Structure 1
Amino acid sequence: MDALDRKILAELAQDGRLTVTQLAERVGLSLSPCHRRVRALEESGVIRGYRAELDAAALGLTFTALVFVTLQDTRSVADFEQAVAEVEHVVQAQRLFGEPDYLLHVVARDLPAFQRLYDQRLTHLPGLLRMTSTLVMKDVVLHRPLTAAMD
């Protein structure tokens, strides 16, 4: 990956709806070489896809919590991961080294909705030993393009 590829990625990370023509202009390439580079980045898996970034608050999801999960033992990992993947309010789940075992990013309409989700779904996940949560007060950095960390 060279400097031009990084420029292409930075532009697409800022605006994934750019046409190849617009992208080529921004990075200083002609259309065909720019298109070949984008296709190569897609085929290599560097670009995994394109999607719209949605505003949670505009969708009525004004409550965000971080839920820390510790499992009883490692035999529960596969069942837990399968079950947590089915909880639509979990927008990100990460397995961690050490304790806790997992960090879940959960969105809900409000505190009562989160409490119902917590009581009715999250506490019934398989292999659960301990679960704690904290509320997100404010997003400070959100969806920063990965290209910022490449330098």
Structure 2
Amino acid sequence: MDDVDRKILAELQDNGRLTVTELAARVRLSLSPCHRRLRELERSGAIRGYRAILDAGVVGLAFQALVFVTMRQEDRDTVAAFEQALVDIPHVLQAQRLFGDPDYLLRIATADLEAFQRLYDEKLATLPGVQRLSSTLVMKHVVNERALPL
């Protein structure tokens, strides 16, 4: 990956809806080389996909919480079952496995406190291998959806 590839990535992080023509102009390449580089960045996995960034409040998911999970068991099968169960819960926006205690950090979005409480009791507390859940509410997003520093 060279400086031109980094410029392409930076432009797309800023605006993923750029046409290849617009992108080529911004990174000062002709259309064909820009298109080839773009396809190679997609093929290599540097670009994993394109999507719109939504406003959670506008779509009715303004309530967010961080949930810390401590596992009772951490054998391979239990961890795999736990992680697959997380994938199947759409309100889990992010799930990160951590070193140390706690074992996982989840970012959850729901409509309100009542919806979070139902999700917590009915889904999160019943996940395989969970010993303890601890949660805190998100008061404000200070840095959110930041582009990677290239």
| TM-score in same-fold range (> 0.5) | yes
CA distance in 2, matches of 1:47, 1:83: 26
Letter in 2 for 1:17: R
| Gap runs ≥5 in structure 2 | none
- Aligned residue in 2 for 1:19: 19
Letter in 2 for 1:78: A
The 5 A counterparts of 1:2-151 are 2-75=2-75, 76-146=78-148, 148=149, 150=150
Local SS of the residue matching 1:106 = strand
CA RMSD across the alignment: 0.8
Structure-1 separation of matches of 2:85 and 2:33: 44
Unaligned regions of 5+ residues in structure 1, if any? none
SS at match of 2:7: helix
C-alpha distance in structure 2 between counterparts of 1:88 and 1:145, whole Å? 23
Matched position secondary structure for 2:82: helix
Superposed CA offset, 1:36-84 (max 9, x none): 1101111111011111111111101010000000111212211111111
Count of aligned pairs between the two proteins: 148
SS state of the match for residue 129, structure 1? strand
